[in-house]
Amino acid sequence: MFDRLEDLLIRFEEIMGELNEPSVTGNQERFRKLMKEQSDLTPVVETYKEYKKSRQEVQDSLAMLEEENDEEMRELLKETLSESRQRVEELEQQLKILLLPRDPNDDKNVIVEIRAGAGGDEAALFAAEIYRMYVHYAESKRWKVELLNADEIGIGGMKEVQFMITGQGAYSKMKYESGVHRVQRVPETESGGRIHTSTVSVAVMPEVDEDIDVVIDEKDIRIDVMRASGNGGQCVNTTDSAVRLTHYPTGIVVYSQTEKSQIQNKAKAFALLKAKLYDLEQQQRHDEEAKLRRSQIGTGDRSEKIRTYNFPQGRVTDHRIGLTLYRLDKILNGDIQEIIDGCTAADQAARLLKMNESA
């Protein structure tokens, strides 16, 4: 591990030198790649430098203890030694986590799809609440949310909704939200006061950009244009602006009607289709690597029940990490960072354990 860290330190210094060269600053593509690599290496390099400093403090304290005879000074040195050793252990653990293989999609924007499952109108109402939860979370991270498509019902629910979140590291945070979300509450439409259980499914897909090669053959696509349905703005429902794409090989159908322009809706529909095709490829890879998937925290199996929102008790439970929080209102208002942090930590711990077992 330390040989690799030394190599990364050398590489970081090389990058810093290259970034100051006129030939690099004049080449925007090369400059951008180097800046990205520098940004990726910075947390590792800074932690490693702090680790080396703490190791040196341990050695200095040991050397001074051998020469020091004053008992009061020895006690101070022992205290410093203990603190430095503890810090060395903490930093070594941080370095192991930082050196875990990164998900190549972590820095990408995401396309999120929410679908109402079991529960009829109640599930559609909950799907709309989950959508608003993610919008509020994205706003708290200063990410941009762009609606791609929404199939709304008259009472304020959504049968399904697709939207894009644009922001640094969006996928690294949102990927743990894929799976089945369950709600337990008394529906507004329920006269008997009985608690119902409904579900929605969430799929989080990385945006397909120039780094991902997804080829769509024109012969495999049917493009239909039609008049938008639902509560649209002026002109939306009076022109053939909505676009539906059907991908014959997979049977995937996507629909976009949120824009007044057919061209804009077509672009959104193709972006969603590409994300779905790439996601399908990723899912197949997860299936082939089932053992690896079991060591990860809820980023592979879309049928997995990941979370329960219990309204009578005001609690939210994430079943993957055994975390229960009694602040349902805040969570539905977008305060989900603690859950995401817990999933991230559990995923890292599982991968560290797997790495140690195979070492």
Q: Where are the domains of the chain?
A: 2-98, 110-349
Tell me if 130 sits within 8 A of 116, measured CB to CB. no
Q: pTM for this structure?
A: 0.73
Say what the pLDDT of residue 281 is: 80
Say what the pLDDT of residue 24 is: 80
Say what the pLDDT of residue 232 is: 45
H-run or E-run covering 308: strand 305-310
Alpha-carbon distances, residue 150 vs 45, 122, 281 (angstroms):
44, 17, 25
Say what the pLDDT of residue 143 is: 96
Say what the pLDDT of residue 292 is: 44
**Cα(62)–Cα(78) distance, rounded to whole angstroms?**
8
Look at the domain 110-349 and name its fold.
Alpha-Beta Plaits (3.30.70)
Say what the pLDDT of residue 116 is: 92
Give me the residues of the chain with pLDDT under 50, please.
231-237, 291-296, 298-300
Say what the pLDDT of residue 359 is: 56
Nearest of 338, 341, 342 to residue 327 by alpha carbon: 338
Say what the pLDDT of residue 209 is: 72
Tally of CB atoms within 10 A around 356: 9
Tally of CB atoms within 10 A around 1: 9
Q: Which CATH architecture has domain 2-98?
A: Up-down Bundle (1.20)
**Cα(297)–Cα(350) distance, rounded to whole angstroms?**
8
Q: What average pLDDT is seen over the chain?
A: 84
